[in-house]
Amino acid sequence: MSQPYTGGCACGVIRYEISAEPIAMNDCQCRDCQSTSGTGHGSYLTFPSRQAVTLTGKATHWDMIGDSGNTKTRGFCPACGSPVYLTFSAMPDLFTIHAASLDDPARYRPQMATYTMRGHAWDHLDPTVPKFEKMPPM
């Protein structure tokens, strides 16, 4: 394993350290990710187990229903408002972080783009990354 993945919110109230490798790095163009990121997509790293995550600080949570019909819970900083992580009711072991919350965002390398059916022509994604109209089967 490489060095742990570390990061947090913009003001430092929320911090994480993850001692695992991500199972996916994904650019998502769904409307929720567009709204949350304020741009054409959100960029995420998903880890296989919450047990590998050390989280400090208290996030505010917001639940929403995704296109799949399942609940997504977004964790963000109550002080600065930075989005930090997501969890999913249908896959409770997974822990997903926003790529921009990493201390070293260069560690993010997208492996796929999802919900491209909702993408905008002005949001140019890496042409070499596999693209899926919705979420691919896992």
Indicate the domain borders of the chain. Answer: 13-118
Cα angle 127, 73, 122; round to 5: 25
CA distance 52 to 43: 20
The yes-or-no verdict on residue 29 having pLDDT over 70 is: yes
Q: pLDDT for 44-86, tens place per residue? A: 999 999 999 999 999 999 998 877 788 999 999 999 999 999 9
The pTM is what?
0.92
Q: Helix or strand or coil: residue 102?
A: strand
CA–CA separation, 91 vs 6, rounded Å?
Answer: 22
CATH number of 13-118: 3.90.1590.10
